[in-house]
């Protein structure tokens, strides 16, 4: 009888709503990232974000002074998330440095495929809109790309030490080349809804790496 009572009570318990587990501010940021990685800044309205989250406009302005401030927060959050992912892969001592880069690429491809290539890289998307965005965005986006390139360059330096990469290779230039090409490949993948552009770029990038 006691066991039946426990089972009945568990079955009857109402699951907590996501709003109970995640704060309104975080819900707004999650919805914002979803919309901006699909549509960009200019084509996304605050109203549709509020509708998705189910909160009044007053709640938005309680946390963010403007749409610009909201987007800058999204940039910072997105940049940090990608940086953590880069560190996760690039610090993986179980793989050789170049295989760490391949693991990151495979992970990123999987993430894009999970949303059927409807979403892109927030930093790349905003970069394409930069002519119509506040000047404050330019510096944030530039700093983010430079941070990602720096992490990528460090992994390439390790590849030089292990002999996977030529000792004469310019790792900073190669890292910049990767991110310039990778962002273009993401744009093309989003346009065509396929991973082929990502695979083509990755294959050529590794094929062009100089070796001794």
The DSSP code sequence of 158-181 is HHHHHTSS-TT--HHHHHHHHHHH
Residue 209 token pair: 């790496």
For 10-37, what is each residue's pLDDT tens digit? 334 434 444 444 689 999 999 999 999 9
Examine the pLDDT at 103 and tell me if it is beyond 80: yes
C-alpha 201/C-alpha 187 separation (Å) is 12
pLDDT at 212: 76
For 113-133, what is each residue's pLDDT tens digit? 999 999 999 999 999 999 999
Q: What is the pTM of this model?
A: 0.85
119 contacts 37 by C-beta, under 8 angstroms: yes
- What is the set of domains in the chain, with CATH numbers? 2-208 (1.10.357.10)
Share of the chain above pLDDT 90, in %: 83
Query: What's the pLDDT band for 2 if we cut at 50, 70, 90?
Result: very low
C-alpha 149/C-alpha 90 separation (Å) is 12
């Amino acid at each position: 009888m006691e066991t039946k009572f426990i089972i009945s009570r568990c079955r009857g318990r109402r699951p907590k709503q996501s709003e109970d587990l995640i704060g309104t501010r975080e819900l707004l940021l999650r919805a914002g990232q979803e919309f901006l990685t699909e549509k960009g800044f200019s084509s996304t309205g605050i109203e549709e974000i509020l509708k998705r989250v189910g909160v009044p406009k007053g709640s938005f302005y309680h946390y963010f002074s403007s749409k610009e401030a909201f987007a800058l927060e999204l940039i910072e959050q997105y940049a940090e998330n990608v940086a953590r992912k880069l560190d996760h892969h690039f610090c993986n001592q179980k793989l050789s440095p170049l295989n760490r880069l391949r693991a990151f690429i495979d992970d990123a491809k999987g993430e894009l495929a999970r949303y059927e290539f409807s979403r892109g890289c927030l930093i790349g998307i905003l970069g394409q809109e930069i002519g119509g965005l506040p000047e404050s965005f330019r510096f944030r986006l530039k700093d983010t790309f430079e941070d990602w390139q720096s992490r990528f360059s460090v992994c390439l330096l390790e590849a030089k030490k292990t002999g996977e990469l030529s000792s004469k290779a310019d790792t900073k230039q190669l890292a910049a080349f990767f991110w310039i090409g990778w962002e273009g490949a993401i744009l093309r993948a989003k346009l065509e809804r396929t991973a082929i552009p990502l695979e083509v770029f990755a294959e050529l990038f590794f094929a062009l790496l100089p070796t001794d």
